[in-house]
Amino acid sequence: MDTEPRNKQLGDLDPARIPAHVGIIMDGNGRWAQARGLSRSAGHRAGTENLRRVLQAAGEYGVRILTLYAFSTENWTRPRPEVLALMVLARTALAREIDELDRRGVQIRIIGRREALDATLRQALAAAEERTRANRALTVNIALNYGGRADIVDAVRALIASGVRPEDVDEEAIGRHLSTEGQPDPDLIIRTAGEMRLSNFLLWQAAYAEFYATPILWPDFGPEDLYQALLAYQARRRRFGGLDKPA
């Protein structure tokens, strides 16, 4: 999809109602590869290459924060060769794209338990975060070895370590210790490949997020599909447990 059609679509979206924070569960790489007689690793490579056009479109549509579910705490149960291939792919993709991301003003932020990742990858991630720290065009949270339950556990552990009194533990205190501290909660969660579950993604933060599922496999999910998700989001009424205001 080129820029001209996307610019025309912008007129169909209300710029005042673009979700500030969008989370994406990028599912379907393996099925995409299987349908083409390719290896699962080839599917993961295709999914990684697809990120470029989705990130560009998100910025053009006015999304300010994009959180990408890249590798969950449960993904370690996959075959070891696939896990190793994913780690190498993350490092090589970051090295390949970092110059362009930095040029476009994208800030990279890593969420998840990075201590379990290999040292070379941890160094590459830390370098990308430091290099893009001052960028403000679009923040991209990359969830690596991330789990929503682990995120909450780590927040509670940090609160205990800080010596906070039990009566001072509230939602705001926990929120300040989550991996997305300082960011608004996601307004919209997108899941590709037709699945209808959060799979341990941003469990606390997504309490009132709108959910959008599409049967499109992640490597095929493009700017037009992101546009359709944003359009669907803008058709929703967000009540946050309350009632519609009278006309």
**Segments in 62-141 forming alpha helices (H):** 80-103, 119-132
Q: Which of 100, 95, 98, 101 is nearest to 121 (CA)?
A: 95
Q: Which residue has the tokens 């996959």?
A: 78
Catalytic residue among 12, 14, 27, 170: 27
Using CB atoms within 10 Å of the CB of residue 63, give its burial: 0 to 12 exposed, 13 to 18 middle, 19+ buried.
buried
Chain CA centroid to CA 46, Å:
17
Token pair listed for 187: 């307004």
- Residues 223, 1 contacting (CB under 8 angstroms): yes
Active site residue 225: no
Token pair listed for 204: 């606390």
Catalytic residue among 7, 75, 102, 244: 75
Active site residue 99: no
Residues assigned a catalytic role: 27, 75
